[in-house]
């Protein structure tokens, strides 16, 4: 669902815009998206189902903001953990040096 949500260039642009510029109304997003407001609303619904945006209703406007943590499955875990363990093993050796027997 995440990959599918990001596969569409319009949705990707909306998500990137919300990531960079923070919360925006559907109206404001439509101004930049180059498609109609109903189409934008449809895209936002897909992004929301994929866990990539949150919405908040205020008066007559709905505000959307990016959920960066929704991108977690795209994180490069192997390279993160490669660096992580190297550092932690150094710390383990440091601790062993300070421990008794």
Partner 1 sequence: MTGPDEEARSLAFERLMPHPPEKIWRALTQSWLIKEWLMENDFAAALDHRFTFRATPLPGWSGVVNCEVVALEPPRLLAYRWGDGTESDSGLKTLVTWTLTAQDGGTLVRMEQSGFRLQDEHSARRMGGGWPRILERLDQAAGRIETGIIS
* Residues in touch with partner 1 (CB under 8 A): 2-4, 6-9, 12, 15-16, 19, 68-69, 71-82, 85-86, 88-89, 91-96, 99, 101
Measured between alpha carbons, how far is residue 98 from residues 15, 88, 92 in Å? 49, 15, 10
Annotate 43-56 with DSSP letters as a single string.
HHHHHHHTTSEEEE
CB of 2 to partner 1, least distance (A): 7
CB of 59 to partner 1, least distance (A): 30
Say how far residue 65 (Cα) sits from the centre of its chain. Answer: 10
CB of 58 to partner 1, least distance (A): 25
């Amino acid at each position: 669902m995440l990959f599918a949500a990001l596969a569409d260039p319009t949705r990707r642009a909306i998500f990137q815009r919300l990531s960079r510029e923070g919360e925006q109304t559907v109206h404001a997003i439509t101004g930049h998206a180059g498609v109609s407001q109903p189409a934008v609303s449809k895209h936002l619904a897909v992004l929301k189902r994929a866990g990539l945006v949150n919405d908040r209703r205020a008066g007559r406007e709905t505000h959307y903001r990016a959920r960066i943590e929704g991108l977690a499955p795209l994180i490069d875990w192997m390279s993160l953990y490669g660096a992580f363990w190297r550092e932690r093993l150094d710390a383990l050796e440091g601790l062993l040096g300070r421990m008794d027997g």
